[in-house]
Amino acid sequence: MSHKLNIDSLCVREYDDPRTTTPHQLPIYATSSFAFNNMEEGIDIFTGVKSGHVYSRYGNPTIDVVGQKIADLEAYNTGLDAFGYLTSSGMSAISTLVLSILKQGDTVLTQGDLYGGTTELLLKVVANSGIKTIFIDLTDADAIEQLCLTNRSIRMIYLETPANPTMKCIDIRMISRIAKKYGVITCVDNTFCTPLIQQPLSMGVDFVIHSTTKFINGHGNSIAGVIVGHDEKFKKQVWTTLKLLGTNCSPWDAWLINNGLKTLALRMAKHSENAMQVALYLSKHPRIKKVNYNGLEDHAYYEIAKKQMKAFGGMLSFEIIGDIKEVLSILNRLKFCTLAPTLGDVDTLVLHPATSSHLNVDKTLREINGITDGLVRLSVGIENVQDIIADLQQALL
């Protein structure tokens, strides 16, 4: 510039990035927008002639890198070219995907033992767009096929496996086979397993979602979600919905997710190892009616889990003998494990679904699907397992 800037303007002026070498760690791009070199460049990006960042709701380098990293993990060794979009939470990942793919008159086929928030979303929010939900036992192949044959409004099969909090496992390959036969889109919530334990895309699934808040981040300091897909025809559709709903992730949360990903393999191995030992302990305790952990060989879904999971993960649930007052009294005696409405952190977390995550789910629906007043969900951490067991032991006395 020929004109010398005044000092107050100099305060406002953004200096050029002086970096000369590549940063070892992913930078946080804490910017709402991106500057164009000229008007023509802006026009080319907005019209799609060239790619580029314009506004962080549309995309941001930190967010894009981490979304793609998770997509690459989900598609690892599958030969698929997957894409990943980070969102502001696991719930926004679900809502963004459903609203981008489905329209008024369409139906979602799902299970009755979903995470309570997902059930509420489908019945109280998604339903307002004229999208119906049918709950069915997704382990019953004949019933699913009959419904898909007779109800052609079914456009999506949405499943959690293992389910939250019953740990029921659903045969992903079976669901994918039926869905493809009737042109139905499939989506798996893979939060409990992460791509290190289970890769639904390799079993024919169209979309995978995660609450990255949980195991992927692993440290309880970030809330975000991710949508992973591999069919190019849906890529722009999902991005457009995300952009217009404003459900994008923040660069800070994306950066925290990236940090968590670096230890994911180590953590999932330890979570799984500890959970197995805790499940074995609880399965022999006289005050425990039932333990839901797919690693136990006598568990109803052991064979399915073994077929589609590389390990059995860090999540389990168990049913305490006694009324709700006795159950809550036992949980109040815990001293080492933390009572918290989340999962997947490095420390052990305890939740009572009937009074928290599934409080607003119809009690009849809850109990039909095994979510009783005595059921407790346990997210087993990576601490020394003897300390976890000792705490459960003293609380159950």
Domain residue ranges of the chain, discontinuous segments joined by +: 39-261, 264-395
User: Does residue 1 or residue 368 have the better pLDDT?
Assistant: 368
Of 58, 106, 113, 115, which residue is the catalytic one? Answer: 115
SS3 260: helix
pTM of the model: 0.95
Of 64, 106, 171, 189, which residue is the catalytic one? Answer: 189
- How much of the chain, in percent, has pLDDT values that exceed 90? 94
Active site residue 115: yes
Q: Is 243 exposed, middle or buried (0-12, 13-18, 19+ CB in 10 A)?
A: middle
Of 29, 57, 137, 287, which residue is the catalytic one? Answer: 57
Could you report the per-residue pLDDT of 162-217, keeping only the tens digit for each? 999 999 999 999 999 999 999 999 999 999 999 999 999 999 999 999 999 999 99
Q: For the domain with range 39-261, which CATH number is right: 3.40.50.80, 3.40.50.300, 3.30.530.20, 3.40.640.10?
A: 3.40.640.10
User: What is the amino acid identity at position 394?
Assistant: Q
DSSP 8-70: HHHHHPPPPP---S--SS------SB---SSHHHHHHHHHTSS----BTTT--HHHHHHHHHH
Active site residue 325: no
Active site residue 310: no
The domain covering 264-395 belongs, at the CATH homologous superfamily level, to: Aspartate Aminotransferase, domain 1 (3.90.1150.10)
Same fold, 39-261 and 264-395: no
Could you report the per-residue pLDDT of 379-391, keeping only the tens digit for each? 999 999 999 999 9
Of 132, 155, 214, 377, which residue is the catalytic one? Answer: 214
